[in-house]
Copies of this chain bind each other. A is one copy, B any other.
Amino acid sequence: MSYSVAVSGASGYAGGELLRLLAEHPDVEIRTVTAHSNAGQPLIQHQPHLRSLAHLTLQDTTPEILSGHDVVFLALPHGQSGQYTDALGDTRLVIDCGADHRLTDGADWDSFYGGHFHEPWAYGVPELPVAGAKQREQLVGATRIAAPGCNASTVSLSLAPGVAAGVIDPSDIVSVLAVGPSGAGKSLKPHLLGAELFGSANPYAVGGSHRHIPEIRQALRAAGATGDIRISFTPVLVPMARGILATSTARISDGVTDAQIRDAWESAYGDETFVQLLPEGQVPRTADVLGANTALIGLTVDRAAGRVVVVTAVDNLAKGTAGAAIQSMNIALGLPESRALTVNGVAP
């Protein structure tokens, strides 16, 4: 059968990537695409790379237009999804790519986002270790799914196996991310201009203010962390459209061997298709996951520093957002999990 699908925020970057992947999905029919200020215009005007969808016109993002589909993707700015979710009560599956339904703790929401707090939905990172199982189980048959923040899921996937196995100390984590600006969306802000970004590395949200921090803490707690979780998190914009290269380090727990450390990640991801631990001595590059639903993880034990170093490459729009959403959809609808998703990147 074919599921009818609507994508809101279809003129943006996350919406565009959802459509790129859905266009190749044999079990869905992209029936409706919506936008806000661009409603009424051809989709192709805003997504000129989506040639196979040139027949679609952007409609208004209203509850009426979004309702009546089997699956609705909300790719809207944070804080805007909530208003549609009530009206979509009959929709079989709603997947929110915004932050509105990610956090379980209202206090975290208040501190990092503010405004009305919405109930948490099933978190769309299937491979994440949670309490002796995988997050995948919570997605089977789910009707409401919160796609992850791209930086948050990258760091969570990087460290959760070590936290779950107790081989690293969650109270001493440092993550520094080289990220492409597409994660910030198609926003007209001076610091996102090409001339500002070419040839430059530009940090932002330094010192603990980035909104993905509580999401990481939540994932690590779900993976089994007890006590304080303390993360120093610094994203740095670098000159590439897409990609996250997260370097995450954590203090090694006392008395743990190198083999035990490696085993923690191997046993967590050894059977996974889309989260791959690289062989010892190898590190990933973001180019290798461009357009792919793959997270590549390089793991090193630095005994001199007393820390595990986990370097993870992800395409922020694919595995980081739209790929995760579609993988979660596949699971929720009982389709093969990897349908319409590829492990192979576009390189060079």
A interface list, Cβ under 8 A from B = 13, 16, 20, 23-24, 47-53, 172-174, 176, 178, 180-182, 186, 188-190, 192-204, 206-208, 213, 230-234, 236, 238-243, 245, 247, 249, 251, 276, 283-292, 294, 296, 298, 300-307, 309, 311, 313, 342-348
**Closest 6 CB pairs between A and B?**
A207-B300, A200-B287, A201-B245, A176-B176, A49-B345, A194-B197
Judging by beta carbons under 8 Å apart, are B180 and A198 in contact?
yes
Judging by beta carbons under 8 Å apart, are A188 and B188 in contact?
yes
Between A186, A193, A200, A345, the greatest number of chain B beta carbons within 10 A of the residue's beta carbon is seen for A200
28 sample A-B contacts, Cβ–Cβ < 8 Å, listed by A number? A16-B348, A23-B344, A48-B288, A49-B292, A49-B345, A51-B288, A51-B343, A186-B195, A192-B195, A194-B194, A194-B197, A194-B241, A195-B348, A196-B287, A196-B348, A197-B198, A198-B198, A199-B241, A200-B286, A202-B245, A202-B286, A203-B283, A206-B309, A207-B309, A233-B305, A234-B311, A236-B245, A236-B247
Contact of A194 among B192, B207, B232 (CB under 8 A): B192
Once bound together, how far apart are the Cα atoms of A271 and B79, in whole Å? 44
Once bound together, how far apart are the Cα atoms of A48 and B279, in whole Å? 12
- Shortest distance between the CB of A287 and any CB in chain B (Å): 3
Judging by beta carbons under 8 Å apart, are A344 and B52 in contact?
yes
